[in-house]
Structure formats: C-alpha cells, structure tokens
Structure 1
Amino acid sequence: MAVISLRKSTCQLFQQGGARFDPLRVLSSRFESTEPNFGIMFDIDGVIVRGRTVLPFAPEAFSKLFDQKTQQFKIPSVFVTNAGNSIRQEKADKLSEWLNIPITEDQVVMAHSPLRMFNEFHNKHVLVTGQGPVEFIARNLGFKKVTTMDQLRHAFPALDAVDHKRRRAAACAFEKYFPRIEAVVLFGEPVRWETSLQLLIDVLLSDGQPSAAPEKIVYPHLPILACNMDLQWMAEAVMPRFGHGAFLLCLENLYKKVTGHELVYTALVGKPSEITYRHSEHVLQEQALKIGLKKPVRHIYCIGDNICTDIFGANLYNKYLQRARDTEIISQVQAQNIGHNSRSIDNLLGTEGELKGATSCYSILVETGVFSRTGGSNVSLDHSPRDFLPVENSYQEPTFSTENVLGAVDLIFEMENYKKNDQ
C-alpha cells in the first residue's frame, strides 16, 4: 500500500482514488479569504480513543480547533463514527469528557444517522437488532412500529434453541396473530450472535411471519437496512476486534448457504458509504454556518484509522464530488454502474436542502488504531464490505499518513496555510 509521507514537497501532485491532488490549489485558496474554507471529519475509535482510553495528543489536537474565549470551534468539525448502538447525545457527552471541550449532538454523525431520511420505511413494522437502546434509537430516527430481537424471541419462544438453558419449547398461543415484519434494520453487532442470526434467517425465510414454516422461499426477501460495515475495530486489546461487518458476513453466508440466493441490502449506511459522507457534509456545512462562516466549506479532511472504511469511504466521496462537478444530476443507472447500492444519493438527500459546496475530500490515515505501519500490510482488500467490492488499490491509499490526530491537524493547518491567517 502506498502511503504518502509528510516529507513530500507540497508542490508535488498526489494520486488519490484516481484523482489528481494539487496542494498548491489548496494553498492558493486560503489567500482568497481570511476565514477557513475547510472542515474536518473525525473518526472516534482509533483516532481519539481506544475503548475507553483517550489517546495521547487528542486533547491537544482539539485545543487548536476550539476557541476558549468564544466557546466555539474555529474550524467546522464533526465526528463520524460507525458505532450504531448508542445515541448522538450520549456520544457527544463522552467526547466532551474525553476532549475537555463542549461537543454538541449536532456535531455527531452515527452510522444510523442517514436512516432519518428513509421515510418510506418509517411506517413499516421493522425488526431491529443490535445492543443498547435500539428501540429508542429506531423511534428517534422516525420508525413508528418497532420490534426488538428480545421481543421477537419472547413472541416465538421455540425459535431460540442454541442455548439449552434458554430453551422454551412451548409455543405462544398468540404467535399467529403477531403482525408481519415488513423490514429489518441492523444497527450493530448483537450480544448473542447465535440468537440474532437464527431469528433473522427465520424472519427472512418466512417473509416476516415466523409462526409457520414457509411453503416456499420468497425471493427477493424483505428489505434490509444495515448500519456499520466495519469488519474490525480497535479497542484496548492489542489486536483489532470483530465489528458489525463480521456479523453481516455471517448473516450473508448463512442466508446463501440455506437458500442458495444472495442476501441483498436495500441500503448500507455508515462508512464507507457515500450516503453517509454526503450526510456528514451536510452536517459539516451546518456547523460552518453556526460558527459564522459566510461561505461553505470547500475542502473536507477525513481523519481515520481504518483503511477499509475511513480511507476507502473518503476517497469514494472525493470521486463523487468530482462527478458532481462534471454533471448536476447523477441518474440512478449511473450511480449503480459506479458502485452505489440501490439508491441515488442526490435523490435521497434532496430533502436536506442545498447546504453543499465541497469540491474535494482528502483522507488522512493515523497509526493509532486498526492500521499500524508494521501490521498494516496484512489488511486485505477483501476486508471491505462485500457490496463495495471489487476495490481498486488506489481507493485504499490515503492522501496523507500521520502518526496521530495531532499530526493530522497540524498537517491540515499547513496545507490550508491556516496558522498564517489565524494570528
């Protein structure tokens, strides 16, 4: 994997995701205005913290972005995490505690945040999986008829049979009256994988009515909305841990093994999906307005530790921005041909208004999480989500690489000539 060193001259052109990156163009743009025309998207796990431990240099990095006198950010900053088992306010409170500066929920983008825009599913009866307050999260996103995995296993006690101590052989008398499930929402990895995998397959095979064995397999299956595609993530352990992407991999392979059909996602949100980056840009542009910037953010810098999600996703979005400059409307057919799942970003996010304006998105890889210089070469391109394969090597090459988040912030300031204009 080619990683761009900071020792490279800023006059050089860098290759990123099939696009030419010209630092001189970035530098020259800084002299057009005394206010910043750039914003930063931060990953959290592996960039700011590992598990519950704040990484060195993270508080110092954010002290350069935050004005203690005005108690607001000097640079538009948002936090984009693939976590899907908590609410934004909870994550904002944790960030405030870790970084010693106030972070608002409006600055946080969770893996599930874009689901607010999936209005066509909000009135359907959905089964939600994950851990934490998943029912509250679903209702907060707009879903009105919600069933959790625990509620489903209590309604159909004979289905959960792997753990002998939890087996309840007696069927519920009201099983046949249970309202048909119309869609599945996967927020994050559950605690008991065997229970969720079994009951999800049951629901898909029975077309949402697991009270009786299906006479035939209905295909295409029920709509599935999945968040967080991270195969691995970095906690306190010395090696990466399995993420929701690993659970999805199990579900995909079990469904294909049982039915002979491919499991198809109606939508995949969270990094590296361009939908999530488009939504995150919308949030970033709103932050720019809130701190008083008169012009939209033009350059986005995405700082992450995971090549297969953070870097891949930022590079995909940079490619999207290039296409958007070439044409005002990207048709659904074009979108599918270039790797979108099944939805047009522009059609989906048109309801968010026109708070857009970014022309480029640059990826910065830090070495404090999933990626390390010694172990990074062992990361296979196949670690990327199935629906985004095949992956070109160039899409997993960061624009820049730094040791930590403080180095990344210093690099951005240098590229944008911000120190000179900030005095």
Structure 2
Amino acid sequence: MGASSYMDIERRGSRTIHPMQNPPPMAAPAVAYYGGRFNRRSRGAWIIILFVVVNIAVFIVTMFVNDCPKDSGSSCTLRFLGRFSFQPLRENPLFGPSSHTLQKMGALVWDKMIHEHQGWRLITCIWLHAGVVHILANMLSLLFIGVRLEQEFGFVRIGIVYLVSAFGGSVMSALFIQNGVSVGASGALFGLLGAMLSELITNWTIYANKFAALLTLIFIIVVNLAFGLLPHVDNFAHLGGFISGFLLGFVFLVRPQFGWVRLKDLPPGYDTNSVVKSKYMAYQYILGLLALILLIIGYTVGLVMLFRGENANKHCSWCHYLDCVPTSRWSCDNRVISCQELASDNSFTLTCNDGKTKIYSMSNVTEASKKELCIQQCS
C-alpha cells in the first residue's frame, strides 16, 4: 500500500481507530481489531466429537449388557441383531434396552441414589440413552450446536458448560421426579442452548441483526421445551440444564468489547491512545458476577435438598406441569413399572406397585412372558 494509506480510517459501528499522525516509513497501516490475536487460527471441535463417541460407545455397551434374547426370547425387536437386539416395542418404543438394564448401568433413580447412597448416578445417567431414537436425536443436536460453539470459544469453556449443565439437569430432575428412571444428554444440550442465549445477551453490543438472532434463538428454545411437556420426557432435566447453561454463558462466553486489543499485539509505532483500554464492559462484569453467585447458591441449595431426601414438588405445587401436561390422550404417570410375584403350584400372582393384583396360570409361562404380563397389568 502507498503512503496515503496511513491516513485511512476504518470504522466499525460507533468506534473509530485512528492511525498515528506522521507515522514512520515502515509502520503498519491502521487496523480495526476485535478480540483475540491477529490472524487468529480457527479452532477445532474435538471435545464435542469425543462426547459423541463416548455416548455412542456407552450405548453399545448398554445393549451388550441388556442381551434381550436371554430374558425376552423371541419377542425381541430386530432379533437378527442377536445379543444387541432391542426390547419389545411395547416395553421400549425407542429401540433400546430395558429399564432394568438402564438402572444397572447407572440411570438416575431417586430411591437408589438417596436410600442406597448412589450419588454417582447424577453423573453416569448423562452418558446413557433409552434407545436408538433417543441417542440419534441427542447426538445430531449436539453436533449441530456444539461444534460451532467449540470453534468459537474453545474446548475448555464449552466442555465445562456441557458437563456442568448436564449435572444441573440431573440435580433438578432428581429433585422433582422421584418415581421414574431418567437418562440422556438432553440436559447438557439445553445447557448449550442456554449458553447461546446468555452469550448473545452479554455480547449484545457487537452483534449485527441482534433482535432477529434473539427471536430465532428464543423460538428454538421454546419449541424444544414444549416437546418436554409430553409424557415420558424429563423436562426437568432440560430446565435444569438450560438454567445452568444460561448462567454459565455469562461467566465463560464473554467476548471482549469491540476495539480492545492486547498491547503486545499492536504493530510497532501504533497509537495506543486510540485503543480501547478495558477488555470488557462494566455490564459484562456485573452479569458474570451475578451469574456465578446464582450458580453457587443454586447448586448448594439443590444438592442439600436432594441428599436430605426432600421432594421439591412439596415446595412448588404447580411445578409438575413444567414436566408434563396431562390430556385426555395421555397420562403423566412416569412410574417405574415393576411387579412382585407370588407363585404356587399351578398359578402365580403379580402385584403392581399401586397394589393392583391379578392371578395367572403357570402353564407355558416364561420369565419374558411374565415381564410382558406385568407391563400390561400395571401400565
């Protein structure tokens, strides 16, 4: 570029960066800069890929442990898969393992976690999935959302948001759902959505078309949360993950304000008086501090309530509608279906958790058919 380029001015929004007056002959031209380093390389997205691989690997192991033909015999779905065939669709319409197998592998079950001191289930449940449909939906969503975020903010920050949000979803689920089995990475996914929303808010001044982006993101979040109102979907895990991710976004996904640059990254002879001195705006510091305080308080209160065995529904009589809205077409009863068996010479009796009892003949009855009868009787 010729000498006249030294008098150029690049403008971004309301901020202007001016070059030095009468610069030395070899000085660099004026540069408009936002955050990070010059010529910053784009990041990869290996942590999200790793999460996907781990989830798929755990699902394969779960199906191996399930071994449907051993217990359900010819009633398994896709029997040609052998040991990896799925439970009967009547039992699990998502093409997956049995509830018993999920519990064995570490699903979130309040009774086992509190009365049998298995707090580790808060973590193991986020790597389990109820079926092929479940894991496909979650992993495709994770790739769609997570890869871009990791490329923008790096694996450390996005990894923290993912894991802490997943844990927050488990805690809220256990506080409100105490008679069901919960698995899945949905809490982590909603955490990433929540972080996207708070990232947009805290970095509001640097975005173009910000209102359109905000409305689009809110629409996506509302639609996904609305699906959680259907039965057999753990919307409390979604909400817990979303709230955690939303607060974490204010802490970890803050971008420097436009015009800020590290002094060591400036070209030689650049006028440092024209560079924005503060890396972040005051409101970004305030939002980050408030979010961190709320996170600490929320997790502390939630864990104390949880391990004291409290039922959060007793403190919020309407909150169960956030998880499922009953209609004439479906019920919101998410009980774990199980039966107690009492056998005699020619018959056996199955008793449901709610006390419903029925007597059956012992002729040509297998363990698999007993399980089917239990599901039919107690559903």
TM above 0.5, one fold? Answer: no
* TM value normalised by structure 1: 0.26
Larger-gyration structure (1/2): 2
Q: Which has the higher strand share?
A: 1
Specify which structure has the bigger relative contact order, considering alpha-carbon pairs within 8 angstroms and separated by 6 or more residues.
1
More helix by share: 2
